């Protein structure tokens, strides 16, 4: 796995979408793989919470019969947390401030997720 | 493209002029064009940060952009309004301690700032739809598009005239070693406090609950004064363990050499050894044991 390429993907996403403050990639069980995060944010805690969030969100869309899971978004008065599935084995967390354009984030994140998935599964 | 990519050395400052002119022309063309003239509806500005212009009878009632704090962010981040006051203002229309004129002025500031932020970024396309979208707050008196464009043009020109013009969406700033928050005024101190090396002037404006334009202008002056430095482009702070083994799906278990005998209990899938099932299950669930023929 090439960590530099992975870091470049996270950095590129932050450059392309205004409002992204932090990003992180973790395995589905919440074990951190790579974080591009500000000091003062506990990356381990965010990874673990995101894994739980993803599990609940996936199950919810299944039970509600809403089809394939896409993303889980937590919208607070001061910002956003979006959790995306990276293939079937990992997840990506995007934190943003209240200005984040979520529609643009979804649009820009799809090709990035595909590339991140292929980097993670490459030998 | 309004903001050229920053080079990888310190204190490189992006020339704003060429691309910003293109962004301005696209927005100006859309706002003064035939579609938007005396129209009611929404102008979608696609790009980074892009935005949404709410129009009523050709006048601008509000502009929202990911590139500039909106009315809510300006009021909440500065503590001018509490969360509960804002929520009740949205649901019941009562403004609490905030006057209607003050709300109008803050929304006007946010609208001008959003227009500046859109033009300082990349505009890909503008499209008008007659559909009226909900805006959190609109101004009581609409702004004439020509007035807004003149003000935006003035701001961009003023920024370009500075010694070290910064792009609010590209250059990330860090406090120089010489800068200490205590010795600076409130605005400069706040900018230094929020300049972590990961934030652009747009991000600093959001963190401080201030408008992007004044923060950007002040940050440009602070770069010139040696209080802030521009961080090179690839500044991703990468943390985390570095596993040597790539993620792969778990391997399927090897097929068992002798397939087990077919189940004799009607497909009962309780994960217990078969020898125990007939002993335990009737006791646990008080089920009558099935008689075998």
- pLDDT at residue B209 is higher than 70: yes
Residues 6+ apart with CB under 8 A from B210: B69, B74, B78, B187, B190
Greater pLDDT, A92 or B289: A92
Q: Please give the residue of chain B at the shortest CA–CA distance from A90.
A: B247
Tell me the Cα Rg of chain B: 30
Give the up-direction half-sphere exposure of residue B47: CA atoms within 13 A in the CB hemisphere: 31
Domains in chain A, CATH or no CATH each = 3-121 (3.30.450.30)
- Is the predicted ipTM greater than 0.85, yes or no? yes
The rounded distance, in Å, linking the Cα atoms of B204 and B215 is: 8
In this structure, the answer to whether residues B131 and B221 fall within a common structural domain is no
Torsion angle of C-alpha atoms B197, B198, B201, B203, degrees rounded to 10 = -140
End residue of a domain, out of B126, B160, B194: B160
The arithmetic mean of pLDDT across residues B212-216, rounded, is 96
In this structure, the answer to whether residues B31 and B131 fall within a common structural domain is yes
| pLDDT at residue B84 in the model | 83
Which pair of tokens denotes residue B242? 């570095």
Contact predicate B103/B68, CB 8 Å: no
| pLDDT at residue B241 in the model | 56
Contact predicate B99/B28, CB 8 Å: no
In this structure, the answer to whether residues B87 and B194 fall within a common structural domain is no
| pLDDT at residue B258 in the model | 58
A32·B69 Cβ contact <8 A: no
In this structure, the answer to whether residues B90 and B184 fall within a common structural domain is no
- pLDDT at residue B64 is higher than 70: yes
Q: In sequence order, what are the beta bridge partners of B51?
A: B45, B65
CA distances from A60 to A52, A55, B221, B239, B289 (A): 12, 9, 51, 31, 38
Full domain range(s) for residue B223: 172-231
| pLDDT at residue B270 in the model | 47
- pLDDT at residue B128 is higher than 90: yes
The rounded distance, in Å, linking the Cα atoms of A73 and B195 is: 27
End residue of a domain, out of B231, B249, B278: B231
Which pair of tokens denotes residue B89? 């203002």
Chain A neighbors of B68, CB-CB under 8 A: 99
Q: Is residue B252 in a domain? A: no
- pLDDT at residue B212 is higher than 80: yes
Chain A neighbors of B77, CB-CB under 8 A: 78
Q: In tens digits, what is the pLDDT along chain A, a chain of 123 residues?
A: 688 889 999 999 998 999 999 999 999 999 999 999 988 899 999 999 999 999 999 999 999 999 988 899 999 988 999 999 999 899 999 999 999 989 899 999 999 999 999 999 885
CA distances from B66 to A120, B27, B46, B169, B223 (A): 31, 16, 11, 10, 25
Q: For residue B240, is it left (φ>0), alpha (ψ between -120 and 50) or beta?
A: left
In this structure, the answer to whether residues B219 and B150 fall within a common structural domain is no
In this structure, the answer to whether residues B124 and B144 fall within a common structural domain is yes
Give the burial string for B148-178 (b: 16+ CB within 10 Å, else e): bbebbbebbeebeebebbbbbbbbbbbbeee
The Cα angle at residue B154 between residues B153 and B157, in degrees rounded to 5: 85
The Cα angle at residue A98 between residues A16 and B5, in degrees rounded to 5: 20
| pLDDT at residue B176 in the model | 87
In this structure, the answer to whether residues B63 and B138 fall within a common structural domain is yes
Q: Mutation test of the interface with chain A: which of B47, B237, B247, choosing the one with the most A Cβ atoms within 10 A?
A: B247
How does DSSP classify residue B195? -
CA distances from B232 to B9, B76, B197 (A): 6, 32, 9
Q: Is residue B257 in a domain? A: no
Contact predicate A84/A3, CB 8 Å: no
Which CATH number characterizes residue B218's domain? 1.10.10
Q: Is residue B189 in a domain? A: yes
In this structure, the answer to whether residues B156 and B23 fall within a common structural domain is yes
In this structure, the answer to whether residues B96 and B189 fall within a common structural domain is no
Q: Please give the residue of chain A at the shortest CA–CA distance from B73.
A: A98
Give the up-direction half-sphere exposure of residue B284: CA atoms within 13 A in the CB hemisphere: 8
In this structure, the answer to whether residues B64 and B182 fall within a common structural domain is no
Number of structural domains, chain B?
A: 2
In this structure, the answer to whether residues B150 and B177 fall within a common structural domain is no
The rounded distance, in Å, linking the Cα atoms of A11 and B237 is: 9
User: Could you tell me whether strands B196-199 and A90-97 are parallel, antiparallel, or unpaired per DSSP bridges?
Assistant: unpaired
The rounded distance, in Å, linking the Cα atoms of A76 and B287 is: 51
Q: Mutation test of the interface with chain B: which of A8, A25, A97, A121, choosing the one with the most B Cβ atoms within 10 A?
A: A97
CA-CA-CA-CA torsion sign (B32, B67, B169, B200): positive
End residue of a domain, out of B207, B231, B255: B231
Which pair of tokens denotes residue B235? 């500044």
Whether A76 has its CB under 8 Å from any CB of chain B: the answer is no
Q: Which residue has the tokens 């003050």?
A: B102
Question: Tell me: the pLDDT tens digits for B3-34?
Answer: 444 433 344 444 444 457 889 999 999 998 88
Q: Is residue B55 in a domain? A: yes
Question: Tell me: the pLDDT tens digits for B145-195?
Answer: 999 999 999 999 999 999 999 999 989 999 987 767 667 788 899 999 999
Chain B neighbors of A1, CB-CB under 8 A: 243, 246-247
């Amino acid at each position: 796995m090439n960590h530099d390429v992975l870091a470049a993907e996270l950095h590129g996403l932050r450059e392309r979408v205004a409002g992204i403050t932090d990003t992180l990639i973790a395995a589905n069980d919440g074990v951190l793989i790579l974080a591009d995060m500000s000091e003062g944010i506990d990356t381990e805690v965010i990874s673990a919470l995101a894994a739980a969030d993803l599990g609940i969100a996936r199950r919810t869309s299944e039970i509600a019969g809403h089809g394939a899971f896409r993303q889980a978004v937590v919208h607070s008065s001061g910002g956003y947390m979006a959790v995306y599935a990276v293939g079937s084995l990992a997840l990506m967390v995007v934190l943003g401030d209240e200005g984040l354009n979520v529609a643009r984030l979804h649009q820009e994140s799809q090709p990035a997720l595909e590339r991140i998935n292929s980097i993670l599964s490459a030998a | 493209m309004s903001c050229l990519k920053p080079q990888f050395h310190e204190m490189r400052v992006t020339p704003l002029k060429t691309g910003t002119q293109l962004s301005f022309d696209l927005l100006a063309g859309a706002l003064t064009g035939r579609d938007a003239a005396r129209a009611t509806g929404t102008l979608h500005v696609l790009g980074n940060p892009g935005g949404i212009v709410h129009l009523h009878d050709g006048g601008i009632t509000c502009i929202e952009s990911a590139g500039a704090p909106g009315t809510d962010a300006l009021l909440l981040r500065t503590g001018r309004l509490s969360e509960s006051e804002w929520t009740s203002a949205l649901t019941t229309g009562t403004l609490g301690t905030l006057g209607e004129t003050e709300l109008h002025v803050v929304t006007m500031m946010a609208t001008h700032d959003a227009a500046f932020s859109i033009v300082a970024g990349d505009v890909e396309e503008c499209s008008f739809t007659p559909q009226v979208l909900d805006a959190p707050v609109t101004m009581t008196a609409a702004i004439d598009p020509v007035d807004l464009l003149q003000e935006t043009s003035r701001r961009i020109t003023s920024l370009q005239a500075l010694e070290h013009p910064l792009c609010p969406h590209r250059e990330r700033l860090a406090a120089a070693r010489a800068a200490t928050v205590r010795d600076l005024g409130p605005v400069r101190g706040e900018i230094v406090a929020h300049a972590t090396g990961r934030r652009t002037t747009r991000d600093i404006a959001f963190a401080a609950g201030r408008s992007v334009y004044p923060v950007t202008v002040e940050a440009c002056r602070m770069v010139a004064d040696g209080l802030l430095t521009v961080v090179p482009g690839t500044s991703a702070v990468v943390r985390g363990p570095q596993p040597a083994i790539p993620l792969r799906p778990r391997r399927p278990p090897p097929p068992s050499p002798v397939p087990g005998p077919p189940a004799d209990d009607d497909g009962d899938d309780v994960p217990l050894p078969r020898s125990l099932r007939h002993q335990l299950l009737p006791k646990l669930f008080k089920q009558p044991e099935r008689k075998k023929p």
